[in-house]
Each structure stands twice: as C-alpha cells, then as structure tokens.
Amino acid sequence: MPTPYGSRGGMAFSAAELHVLRRSLAHALQSSTAPLTAAEVQDCLRLAASVDEAVQEAGRLRAFLLDDLARYRGALPGSLSGYLELLQDALAAGYEPDPDDLSALRALRANPVAAAVLERAQGVAERSVRRRLAAAAPAPRTRLLALAGGREEPGPAAPGPEEPRPERPRPEPSPKEPPRPGRPVPTPGEVFPPRRKPAPPPAAGLAAV
C-alpha cells in the first residue's frame, strides 16, 4: 500500500505497486486497443484504492500537524523551539500562517530563528492575500449588444471619420392618379348667346298682309 511521504504531499510506492503503475501507464499510452486481462484490471483497481487511502491518510497527518502547532503556540514562550520547528514544517507543506502565528512570531522576533521564520511567514501571508484578492476581483465588464428577440448578428463596420457616409436612397414619389373627367367648362358663347337682330319695320304705304 502506498504511504504518505513527508509533509509536502509526497507518496511512497513499493516495487510491486510501481510495476502495476508502470504497466497501467504503458497500456494507456500505447496505440493498440487490446483490453487488459482480468488480473491486470484487478491490480489496477487495488492500486487505485490504495492511492485513495494514502491520500486520506495524508489529510489526517496534516490535520494532526496543525492541531499540534496550535498546542505549541498556546504554550509559548516555553515551547519556542518546538513551535518554530513545527511551523517551518507546516510552511513547507503549504500552510498559510494565520494572524495568531504572525502575532506570536512578532513577539519572539528577538530570537534570530523566530525573526527568520517571521520574514518567511509574512511573505507567504502576503502572497495568499494577493491571490485571494485577485480571485475575488470582478471580471471586466464587456459591452453587450443585443436585439429584441434574438442575438445580434455582426453587421458592417461603421465608416470612419474620413470615410463619407453613404446617402440613403430617397423614396420614389408615387404616380399621381389622372384627374377624373368632370363637367366641361362652358364657352363664353354659351354663357352669353348673341342677341338676335330685330326684324326691319314694314315699308310705308304697304298694308300688312
């Protein structure tokens, strides 16, 4: 069974486990699709279960280290040497010092070892704060362009300041309807008919018929 190795998350494998791991990797990388035998499958499953157990054991060891560190910190200054040793192991394993660790180290900065550990712990804490701030920063806002009812399709680029703007075509006038024929306009002769000339008088001495 693989076992945790050190405080940095390492893991130790036996020779038989390394053989199974190497065989599994070779089968995964080879171009052929030949299936594994039943025995090989069982070996891979047992190795995967052992790796899971080792990961859980590493988590338990880390939790024990942090609990032990808190006990030594609470017993300062009498436990100075043990506390500094445990804190350095924790920092090497990726531990981010909390405010209690920084306060304790500042109170013990007269000790040269404590001063060196304080400088290292402050650097780790500063990097951790910058990383959290960068993760919490909002993403840059982008300009959203949308049309009602769907997604806007990319259109032609707008003309630049030096390019003339194309003129919009003017709508053609609709043809006018021809005037409807109405009542004809009367002529002046129809409005004012010529006066008839009076008949000439009968000649004198002639009796009327």
More confident residue, 195 or 87: 87
Residue 209 has a pLDDT of: 44
Give tens-digit pLDDT for 55-89.
787 778 888 888 999 999 999 988 999 999 999 98
Pairwise CA distance, residues 72 & 67, whole Å: 9
Q: What is the pLDDT of residue 155?
A: 55
Q: What is the dihedral of CA 69, 136, 55, 64, to 10 degrees?
A: 10
pLDDT of residue 120: 93
Is the pLDDT at 207 greater than 80? The verdict is no
Work out the angle between the directed axes of helices 38-74 and 99-107 (0-180°, nearest 10): 50
What's the pLDDT at 202? 56
Contact criterion met (CB below 8 Å) for 121 and 91 = yes
When pLDDT is averaged across residues 146-167 and rounded to a whole number, the result is: 55
Whole-Å CA distances, 8 to 88, 92, 120:
12, 7, 17
User: Parallel, antiparallel, or unpaired for β 10-12 and 146-147?
Assistant: unpaired
Mean pLDDT, residues 192-205 taken together: 59
Q: Could you give the percent of the chain with pLDDT greater than 90?
A: 20
Closest by CA to 92, choosing from 132, 65, 126, is: 65
Report CA-CA distances (Å) from 2 to 5, 23, 26, 46, 189.
Answer: 9, 17, 20, 11, 131
